Amino acid sequence: MSRHDFLVEIGTEELPPRALKDLAAAFAENVAKGLDEAHLRHGKRQRFASPRRLAVLIKGLWEQQPEQQFKRRGPPISAAFDAAGAPTRAALAFAESCGTNVSSLSRVSDAKGEALFYSARLPGALARDLLPGIVQAALDALPIPKRMRWGNGDAQFVRPVQWVLLLFGKDALDARIIDTQSGHVTFGHRFHAPKPLRIATPGAYVATLRERGYVLADFEERREKIRGGVVELAQSLGGAPVMSEDLLDEVTALVEWPVPLAGAFERRFLELPREVLIATLQEHQRYFPIADVNGRLLPAFIAVANLESRDPAQVRAGNERVVRPRLSDAAFFYETDRKQPLAQRRDELAKVTFQSRLGTLADKTRRIRTLASEIAAQLGADTAQADRAAELCKCDLLTAMVGEFPELQGTMGRYYAQHDGEPAAVAQAIGEQYLPRFARDELPASPLGISLAIADKLDTITGIFAIDQKPTGTRDPFGVRRAALGVVRIIIEKRLELDLRALIRRAAELLAERTASAATPAVAVSEQVYDYIMERLRVYYLDGAGGVAISTEMFDAVLSNRPASPLDFDARLKAVESFLKLDAAQSLAAANKRIANILRKADRATTTAVRPELFQAEAERRLYGALEQLRPEVEPLLAQRNYAQALERLAELREPVDAFFDSVMVMDENVDLRNNRLGLLAALRQLFLHTADLSRLPG
């Protein structure tokens, strides 16, 4: 069977840059999934993405599905023929549905009896007939939160579609995709190559766009070209670019033919905080700042143009004209904000709503002050400074700078606190209160910053649950998921011995005291918040961030004990991981399942304390003796949270446990013997349960 390369390209108006990379990956994945489900064999796939296109190239796609084996079981023979042997309506209808006649049907006998049977080998469908539907389905399944319509049609996509290219080998497929007729034609750069470009074969796609269309279609190739060009240009200016991977991705998604250009601004703007300059250049303009070997910013930046200008100086001047007023505004905000100390803004917090049912920023600040001071006391930090940091932590939200650059909240609070002469630890804590802002972000470094960050996050999470507005689907306007993950990251990665359940209860109590709008009782809210944070902790571990190779069963085994301390949870989980590497693990996990089932069915409440004098079998005496011998060794280990060593010692019970179940009838007719054996199993299970519920593990 012959093979051909397949190419699909969807040409659009400019796609959203921050979503482009994910859209391209999802499109390629969806196309490949559709081919696999259609049993169309193929080679490697390659994806392409630029501001005006999404494309997928499939190498070596078979031109036809494999031959299909078609089998159908029909009505029973007793219902297929009448007494005279003539076919009934049931037989005729079955034959008709199979496209044949009754005389061509065979018979099959199985456990259900004898019945009519149809079997045939059918040729596979042609790829060219299946591909339009596969492409349309792949596009329909893209993760697009809100689709748009254009013109007078009913088609919907993330942006208006301008053209569709569908090539199978040298042939253009005739189809309508997103209400657009497909063909051989693509379009290059909007200005450098505005005329249609005919693509002869899928293999010529990349070269044609590069050589005639002024488009680098490969996202990664374009990204590395931008990186290299920016680095080289920055070095020529005596520095290195301040380049985040996210910014590099976004710039790559904004241009098809990248041309790095240097620009400059007045040296006086270097008096602004570093973060303000970076926010202005990166977040607002998508420029790359330049720093010297000591990390100090230079009065220069690099912009990436989307064309080769005949007059680069004009393009450079245009970029400088754009950035200059933004920096001037930032300088004005910075100067104006510092004329009023943060502390003088406290009264204004009462005029700003945090959440309509949770009160104002002043209400939130009062709750944070109490909780942060209590956390600081547990960490051995200065509680007075913790209270002061919490008192001022939201004041920078009222400044002009944060109004213009919301991403600088906390950061500007730190600078303004320093300017006001607040203690260095207070200023640092204000700057650290929002950390971590995202999954891989740094954590607060100071005890005060840790106290403030945890208090702020727990107040937000608990408040949102108290008013029954917990996140659903992708909707999470208050960043509750991010806050929950931040709490567990801080506690575990900073190795903090904190009682999370107690802190959640305290946050719920403060909400009940400070607001009249909390709809759910504090105790119920506390349990809901604990469960929610534990689910974020599950994601944390399953993503490999905790340094433990876990399964969801391992996590559930530990969660069944509902540990109050995430650090204690971490120790238990690592102990279970170590336990599962032991030879006895599978056998003991299976024994724990069996014990749990026996105790559940027997109603453990009726069992009594273990009475050794009632033992009749050597196996139960041996198990009891081994248990009593290990108990004084294991219990101190459990008290010290040395769960791994405790489970390792308990693994020595494997042989007596196996022998017990091999030779002892637990549910004896004699009530005293039965209860005594149930008590022995309950004591055994309880010793394991101090670490985790091993019955939840595979075994």
Any idea which residue has 């505005």 for tokens? 194
Closest to 643 in 3D by CA, of 634, 652, 651:
634
Tell me the three state secondary structure of residue 653: helix
Tell me which CATH code domain 342-547 carries. Answer: 1.10.3210
**Domain positions in the chain:** 3-65+126-213, 73-121, 219-337, 342-547, 573-696
Quick one: average pLDDT of 102-124?
A: 88
Tell me the C-alpha distance between 42 and 57, whole Å: 11
pLDDT of residue 607: 53
**Model confidence band, residue 608 (pLDDT cutoffs 50, 70, 90):** low
pLDDT of residue 1: 66
Over residues 394-421, the pLDDT tens digits come to: 999 999 999 999 999 999 999 999 999 9
Over residues 194-237, the pLDDT tens digits come to: 999 999 999 999 999 999 999 999 999 999 999 999 999 999 99
Total-model pTM: 0.81
pLDDT of residue 298: 97
Tell me the C-alpha distance between 509 and 91, whole Å: 73
- The order of strands in the sheet holding 297-305 is 240-241, 288-291, 297-305, 259-264
Q: Is residue 291 within 8 Å of residue 297, measured between CB atoms?
A: yes
pLDDT of residue 699: 63
**Model confidence band, residue 524 (pLDDT cutoffs 50, 70, 90):** confident
Closest to 283 in 3D by CA, of 393, 399, 411:
411
Asked if pLDDT for residue 356 goes beyond 70, the answer is: yes
Q: Is residue 527 within 8 Å of residue 478, measured between CB atoms?
A: no
CATH level 3 topology of 3-65+126-213: Alpha-Beta Plaits (3.30.70)
**Model confidence band, residue 517 (pLDDT cutoffs 50, 70, 90):** very low
By percentage, how much of the chain surpasses pLDDT 90? 72
* Residues across the chain: 699
What tokens were used for 19?
A: 């979503």
- More confident: 53 or 607: 53
CATH level 3 topology of 573-696: Isoleucyl-tRNA Synthetase; Domain 1 (1.10.730)
What tokens were used for 28?
A: 């390629």
Cis peptide bond N-terminal to 202, omega within 30? no
Q: Does 3-65+126-213 match 342-547 in CATH topology?
A: no
What CA–CA distances, in Å, run from 266 to 251, 274, 289, 496?
A: 24, 15, 14, 46
**HSE-up (13 A, CA, CB side) for residue 620:** 21
Closest to 77 in 3D by CA, of 117, 118, 114, 119:
114
Q: Is residue 131 within 8 Å of residue 168, measured between CB atoms?
A: yes
Tell me the C-alpha distance between 457 and 532, whole Å: 13
pLDDT of residue 325: 95
Tell me the C-alpha distance between 644 and 561, whole Å: 16
What's the one-letter identity of residue 219? F
Over residues 474-506, the pLDDT tens digits come to: 778 888 999 999 999 999 999 999 999 999 999
Closest to 562 in 3D by CA, of 628, 624, 501, 482:
501
Closest to 55 in 3D by CA, of 4, 10, 6:
10
Closest to 413 in 3D by CA, of 341, 365, 355:
341
Average model confidence (pLDDT) across the chain: 92
- Identify the weakest region by mean pLDDT among 90-94, 253-257, 526-530, 546-550: 546-550
pLDDT of residue 602: 76
DSSP-derived pairing of the beta strands 161-168 and 180-183:
parallel
